[in-house]
Amino acid sequence: SPIEPPEFKACGAARDVQSGDLLNINCCPPTSDKIVDFKLPPPPAKLRVRPPAHRVSKEYLAKFEEAIRRMKALDKSDPSDPRGFMQQANIHCAYCNGAHDQVGYKDLDLQVHNSWLFFPFHRWYLYFYERILGSLIDDPTFVLPFWNWDNPKGMQMPKIFDNSGSPLYDANRNQKNRPPAIIDLGFSGATEDLQVVVNNLTVMYSEMIRSVNSTLDFMGQPYKAGDAASPGMGSSERGSHVAAHVWVGDPRNKYSEDMGNFYSAGRDVLFYCHHANVDRMWSVWRTLKTDVPKDIKDPDYLNAAFLFYDENKQLVRVKVGDCLDHKKMGYEFEKVDTPWLNYKP
């Protein structure tokens, strides 16, 4: 049977996943007696289009910054408001650092990484994050930008995140990797920029096409009720996704906070922008004309469910099966080139 949404009332201590250390943080969400089943609103006449972060307009940036500013302000006015910046970051901690258990299996942590839940969980997480930001600035058309690290033009940390006066800034990052450093998606250690770019394109070709011989190679391994956490990552999660976390995380901090640890990653706004591109990679993969089937038909996948607070602080239950087509969720991605398609090694 499918993984069930966690019981918020049973939420407990969080641990560092690598070391098992108890973390000095309570990341459990507020509880709520009322849970509603999420219904997708009818798709809008015009889809919202997520832009690449390296070429957003001034107007867009001003909105994005204002929305984040207001989200951060909620932390001060009411730290228990589930729409607040820290509460939103703590979602990632609770679902990923063992604070939530699997319902009915007290000894099993619920874990949304390292399995086929990876893409759907993060898609829903960003969906609500984006709607909350939109509602905080009264703009239901608001979208998150994506960090276009799979294209040479986007292979630096987007500059909008590197302005210390901006609410998008986070001091807890690897200082060596601020712009104009080029991200190294393959942990190649190459020092020539051009070589790193070429390696990155080869990494992308590999994780999207070459090393993907089955649906689960890309999506991650099955994870069902009663299964131990972390049965296995898909190629994209393991590759570019982890690489960007490690590259941004601050080596001066014990647990590589912020981006380098599950519990703290959501405290860096860049996290949501990174995951918008991970989400886009899932979308792009589904359009590739390869022989690998793109759908998982197992009902234990389609019926797996999560809980999130929406922009009205209502706790909603969402199913994996309802997030497979992001256009039905009302958004798409601005079209950009995917030069890695031609980087067969």
User: Which of 54, 63, 83, 92 lies at the binding interface for ligand C2O (CB under 6 A)?
Assistant: 92
* Site membership for ligand C2O, residue 17 (CB under 6 A): no
**CA angle 197-203-208, nearest 5°?**
130
Per annotation, catalytic residue among 54, 92, 274, 326:
92
Q: How many residues does the chain have?
A: 345
Considering only residues 111 to 170 of the shown chain, the ones binding ligand C2O according to CB under 6 A are 113, 122
Query: Which is closer to ligand C2O, CB of 96 or CB of 216?
Result: 96
Instruction: Specify whether 92 is catalytic.
Output: yes
Residue with tokens 């250690």: 189
Chain-centroid distance, C-alpha 31: 23
**Min CB(114)–ligand C2O separation in Å:** 10
How far is it, in rounded angstroms, from Cα 32 to Cα 29? 9
Instruction: Give the span between the Cα atoms of 305 and 311, in whole angstroms.
Output: 19
Does the annotation mark 245 as catalytic?
A: yes
Interface map 271-290 toward ligand C2O (x if CB under 6 A): ----x---------------
Instruction: Decide: 66 and 137 in contact? Cβ < 8 Å.
Output: yes
Quick check: is 100 catalytic?
Answer: no
241 assigned to a ligand binding site? yes
Q: Residue 274 catalytic?
A: no
We find the least distance from the C-beta atom of residue 266 to ligand C2O, in angstroms, to be 8
Q: Name the minimum Å distance from CB 265 to ligand C2O.
A: 6
Based on CB atoms, which residue is closest to ligand C2O, 113 or 267? Answer: 113
Site for ligand C2O in 250-269 (CB under 6 A): 265
Least Cβ distance, residue 41 to ligand C2O (angstroms) = 26
Tell me the CB-side half-sphere exposure of residue 125, using CA atoms within 13 A.
27
Q: Binding ligand C2O by CB under 6 A: which of 54, 173, 241, 280?
A: 241
Q: Give yes or no: 54 in active site.
A: no
Catalytic pick among 142, 218, 262, 333: 262
Tokens 């759908």 map to which residue?
Answer: 295
The three-class DSSP label of residue 102 is strand
- Written as one string, the DSSP assignment of 190-254 is --SHHHHHHHHHHHHHIIIIIT--SHHHHH-----TTPPS-----HHIIIIIHHHHHHHS-TTST
**Kind of pairing between the strands at 315-319 and 305-309:** antiparallel
User: Residue from 63, 245, 319, 326 that binds ligand C2O (CB under 6 A)?
Assistant: 245
Which residue among the candidates 38, 85, 161, 241 is catalytic per the annotation?
241
Measured over the CA atoms of residue 171, residue 164, residue 192 and residue 194, the dihedral's sign is positive
Binding-site residues from annotation for Cu cation: 92, 113, 122, 241, 245, 275
In the complex, the residues that contact ligand C2O under the rule CB under 6 A are 92, 96, 113, 122, 241, 245, 265, 275
Binding-site residues from annotation: 92, 113, 122, 241, 245, 275
Catalytic residues: 92, 113, 122, 241, 245, 262, 275
